[in-house]
């Protein structure tokens, strides 16, 4: 079952923070986060494995609450390069990721 991402879209000024949420109705083994720019391949950001860990990548970090079957992606002091559509992929069984519908992030100067 497809994970639900929220919000569907967000518009920020450069330097502002954003949070993107991903929730599933199933128990999860991992959550993968990707960013896709228009006409380009999705680019890997991070994987969170069950265990409630939090990871960071530059000014982008994420958390995974396996009990709530939720993950959140945090973008701090957003830059213009952060614009794009963010997808979470959830894994509830071997190897297969189910992708959310995406959150479109627009950063304005």
Binding site for other proteins (CB under 8 A): 2, 29-30, 32, 34, 39-44, 47, 49, 87, 89, 91, 94-102
CB 53 within 8 A of CB 61: no
CB 91 within 8 A of CB 97: yes
Could you tell me the smallest distance in angstroms from the CB atom of residue 40 to other proteins?
A: 6
Could you tell me the smallest distance in angstroms from the CB atom of residue 34 to other proteins?
A: 8
Q: Which residue's CB is nearer to other proteins, number 12 or number 97? A: 97
CB 19 within 8 A of CB 70: no
Q: Which residue's CB is nearer to other proteins, number 74 or number 99? A: 99
Burial degree of 81 (CB within 10 A; 0-12, 13-18, 19+): exposed
Non-local CB neighbours of 58 within 8 Å, separated by 6+ positions: none
Q: Which residue's CB is nearer to other proteins, number 14 or number 44? A: 44
Q: Which residue's CB is nearer to other proteins, number 13 or number 95? A: 95
């Amino acid at each position: 079952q497809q994970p639900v991402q929220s919000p569907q879209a967000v518009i920020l000024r450069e330097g502002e923070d954003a949070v993107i949420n991903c929730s599933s109705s199933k128990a999860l083994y991992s959550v993968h986060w990707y960013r896709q720019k228009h006409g380009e391949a999705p680019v890997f950001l991070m994987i969170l494995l069950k265990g409630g860990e939090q990871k960071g990548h530059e000014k982008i970090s994420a958390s995974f609450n396996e009990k709530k079957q939720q993950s959140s992606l945090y973008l701090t002091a957003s830059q213009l390069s952060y614009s794009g559509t963010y997808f979470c992929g959830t894994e509830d069984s071997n190897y297969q990721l189910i992708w959310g519908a995406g959150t479109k992030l627009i950063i304005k100067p």
